[in-house]
Amino acid sequence: METKKEAITNNETRKHILNVAKYINIVIYHLLDRAQKHDETKFSEPELPLFVKLTDKLSQSTYGSAEHTAMLKKLKPALDHHYATNRHHPEHYPNGIEDMTLIDLVEMLCDWKASTLRHEDGNILKSIEINTDRFKINPQLAKILQNTVELFDHTDTF
Closest to 122 measured CA to CA, from 102, 155, 149: 149
One domain, residues 30 and 44: no
Closest to 42 measured CA to CA, from 53, 31, 30, 32: 53
pLDDT given for residue 104 in this prediction: 98
- pTM recorded for the entire structure: 0.92
One domain, residues 58 and 117: no
One domain, residues 1 and 58: no
One domain, residues 111 and 156: yes
One domain, residues 98 and 80: no
Q: Residue 56: what residue type?
A: D
What would the pLDDT profile of 61-80 be if each residue is shown by its tens digit?
999 999 999 999 999 999 99
Residues contacting residue 59 through CB under 8 Å, at least 6 positions apart: 118, 119
Into how many domains does the chain fold? 3
Structural domain harbouring 82? 40-86
One domain, residues 5 and 32: yes
One domain, residues 103 and 136: yes
Closest to 147 measured CA to CA, from 125, 126, 131: 125
One domain, residues 101 and 78: no
SS (H, E, C) 106-126: HHHHHHHHHHHCCCCCCCHHH
d(CA 58, CA 156): 30
Give the distance, in angstroms, between the CA of residue 17 and the centroid of all CA atoms in the same chain. 27
Segments of the chain with pLDDT less than 70? 155-158
One domain, residues 65 and 120: no
d(CA 88, CA 11): 39
One domain, residues 33 and 47: no
CA dihedral for 89, 30, 46, 68, sign (positive or negative): positive
What would the pLDDT profile of 7-18 be if each residue is shown by its tens digit?
999 999 999 999
One domain, residues 45 and 99: no
Cα angle 117-123-127, degrees, rounded to a multiple of 5: 105
One domain, residues 98 and 150: yes
